[in-house]
Amino acid sequence: MLPDPDPTLCRHLADDLRAAGFTAEALRTAFGDAADDAIARGLRAPADRSLGARDDALAVLARLLVLGMPQDEAFVSSALPRTGAAGLAALGLVSVGDGVRPLAVVRPQSYADADGAGQWWIASDLDEAALGGPLPEDHVLGVGGASLTLASLQLPTAARRGLDIGAGCGIQALRARRSVARVTATDISPRALAFTRLNALLNGVDAIDTRLGSLFEPVAGEEFDRIVSNPPFVITPRVEDVPAYEYRDGGMEGDDVVAAFVRGVGGHLAPGGVAQLLGNWETRAGVDGLDRVRAWVAQSPIALDAWVVERESLDPLSYAELWVRDGGTLPGTPEFARLADAWLDDFAAREVTEVGFGYLLLRRPRSGEPTLSRFERLHQSLTGDSLGAHLADALADHDRLEPLDDAGVAASAFVVAPDVTEARHHVPGQEDPTVIELRQGGGFGRALSVDPALAALVGACDGDLPAGVLIDAIAELLGADAARLRADLLPRVRELAFTGFLRFA
């Protein structure tokens, strides 16, 4: 069990790490780009080889806290003069005996948001490369691709009370605290909550309260302005001899943990409050996965706005292979084949043909009925790290557009977002383009094929004239009926404004 972190020791460790220049940039320089990238794939040797015989503070801490390799006690105490090896042991991060052996990793993690850039030190359990085998079931995961994605999705707008469900190492609570005054972090794992408290103290972040329990049990009767969750959504067979990792398995069948969150979150959102989470959903017995998510939203006792984006989908075999590997079981072994078969049997029992992964944004209306119901597939690569700001802008524009009829949209002036570009494709020798495409450099990186009329309208949106005046001028140039062109273009202007191609002037 990780001990409850001592605030003074955490301050000393932070001072030592800062003095050693223990940053993501410094480590990447020390390791080299290729070796640094290899660490995420479980390969430590290239980074260790890059350090060579170095015994300076950065090199010692890199081996001990990033690569999870034992170090000489004298070197560690020299690298951490305030904390010492004994201080690390008191925090539960190492054991001291025949040298200093790591029990956890502490890795720097850079971040950037609307308020600026910075860095946290994030402690978590040793990965399979350091352990030399499969993970224990109570493993507390560090910062991975999914957690970074959810952190970037968090709305940057100010809020009073926040809730992080399934806090793990605490990365979402730290990110939420950037814009939320007080954050409650919950988890079913006492070890995870200890890491959350440690990481908050290590980074000097206050007003994060931890509570033990599943889903909404620890906050019964409470409402929050912002809820975020990277829940244990990984679909795991409910059979013996299949590891049930706490960090990814919610103990329910199929995608029931995500369904339970969606159905229950409304009762814990204050009016106007927003919940954001990652999740999986199954396509079952011919029922599309997004349609099943739509049904979960409809089953909420509190009516909710919903914006759900599927980022990727996997067939059952690919899904099974992904999560068997994630637990540290090597492909090609009898154990890998046995576990993969257990996943396939589980999917077959529910007639699952596909598993989707994506993002859910749910909002409790301040008053009245929900006005946003959007379920879409966006499987292209993301192009930026400002998704939270993009989502906040989209919600604000939706709320501004909602009370406007077509006449109101026509009376509004718009400007083209600065990240939007236009591409025209021509057949050689022909003057007119065969395809006109608008591309978004930020947000979800959308690309839209548009006709000449819409392309002309977007190109003319500089904030000076209302959209209706521009459409009438384009109709005259094209020899088209102005009323029909308005009826065609104004709904598409709404869509372009919501998705971020256009902004209100």
Question: pLDDT tens-digit profile of 453-469?
Answer: 999 999 999 999 999 99
b/e sequence 408-441, b meaning 16+ C-beta within 10 Å: ebbebbbebbebbeeeeeeeeeeeeeeebebebe
Reported as a pLDDT band with limits 50, 70 and 90, residue 326 is confident
Question: What pLDDT was estimated at residue 138?
Answer: 87
User: With 0-12 CB in 10 A as exposed, 13-18 as middle and 19+ as buried, what is 32?
Assistant: middle
Identity of the residue numbered 245: Y
CB atoms within 10 A of CB 329: 20
SS3 state at 169 = coil
Is the dihedral angle over the CA atoms 45, 51, 57, 58 positive or is it negative? negative
Whether pLDDT at 133 is above 80: no
CATH topology assigned to domain 401-504: Outer Surface Protein A; domain 3 (3.90.930)
Whether pLDDT at 383 is above 60: no
239-244 average pLDDT score: 87
* Domain residue limits, the chain: 7-110, 140-313+359-398, 401-504
**DSSP one-letter code for 267:** G
For 13-45, give the DSSP string.
HHHHHHHTT--HHHHHHHH-HHHHHHHTTT--H
Reported as a pLDDT band with limits 50, 70 and 90, residue 384 is low
Average pLDDT for the chain: 94
CB 406 within 8 A of CB 490: yes
CB 337 within 8 A of CB 344: no
Instruction: Compare 146 and 70 and report the one with higher pLDDT.
Output: 70
For 88-110, give the DSSP string.
HHHTTSEEEESEEEESEEEEEEE
CB 314 within 8 A of CB 382: no
**What is the rounded distance in angstroms from the CA atom of residue 214 to the CA atom of residue 77?**
40
Cα–Cα distances in angstroms (integers) from residue 329 to residues 43, 128, 320, 384, in the given order: 15, 9, 12, 33
Give the contacts of 439 (CB within 8 A, at least 6 positions apart): 420, 421, 422, 423, 445, 446, 447
For 54-71, give the DSSP string.
--SHHHHHIIIIIS---B
Reported as a pLDDT band with limits 50, 70 and 90, residue 119 is very high
Question: What pLDDT was estimated at residue 143?
Answer: 92
372-395 average pLDDT score: 87
The tokens of 402 are what? 């909602």
CB atoms within 10 A of CB 247: 25
pLDDT in tens, 42-93: 899 999 999 999 999 999 999 999 999 999 999 999 999 999 999 999 999 9
Question: What pLDDT was estimated at residue 117?
Answer: 87
Give the contacts of 170 (CB within 8 A, at least 6 positions apart): 122, 164, 185, 195, 196, 197, 199, 200, 208
Reported as a pLDDT band with limits 50, 70 and 90, residue 137 is confident
SS3 state at 353 = strand
Whether pLDDT at 309 is above 90: yes
The tokens of 341 are what? 């078969």
Q: What's the CATH superfamily of 140-313+359-398?
A: Vaccinia Virus protein VP39 (3.40.50.150)
Identity of the residue numbered 76: V
The tokens of 284 are what? 């079952």
pTM: 0.94
CB 309 within 8 A of CB 387: no
Identity of the residue numbered 321: E
Instruction: Compare 177 and 234 and report the one with higher pLDDT.
Output: 177
CB 60 within 8 A of CB 29: no
Lowest-confidence pick of 157-161, 236-240, 368-372, 427-431: 427-431
SS3 state at 157 = coil
Give the contacts of 467 (CB within 8 A, at least 6 positions apart): 409, 410, 411, 412, 413, 414, 457, 461, 489, 490, 493
116-127 average pLDDT score: 93
pLDDT in tens, 401-429: 999 999 999 999 999 999 999 999 888 88
**What is the rounded distance in angstroms from the CA atom of residue 415 to the CA atom of residue 436?**
19
**What is the rounded distance in angstroms from the CA atom of residue 35 to the CA atom of residue 231?**
31
Reported as a pLDDT band with limits 50, 70 and 90, residue 430 is confident
pLDDT in tens, 171-204: 999 999 999 999 999 999 999 999 999 999 999 9
The angle formed by the CA atoms of residues 459, 465 and 470, to the nearest 5 degrees, is 55
Find tokens 């390791």 and name the residue: 31
**What is the rounded distance in angstroms from the CA atom of residue 342 to the CA atom of residue 352?**
14
Closest CA relative to residue 292, chosen from 256, 248, 344, 253: 256
Q: Work out whether strand 373-377 and strand 352-363 pair parallel, antiparallel, or are unpaired.
A: unpaired
Question: What pLDDT was estimated at residue 394?
Answer: 98
Instruction: Compare 386 and 395 and report the one with higher pLDDT.
Output: 395
CB 111 within 8 A of CB 151: yes
Is the dihedral angle over the CA atoms 440, 441, 446, 452 positive or is it negative? positive
Q: Containing H/E element for 478?
A: helix 467-478
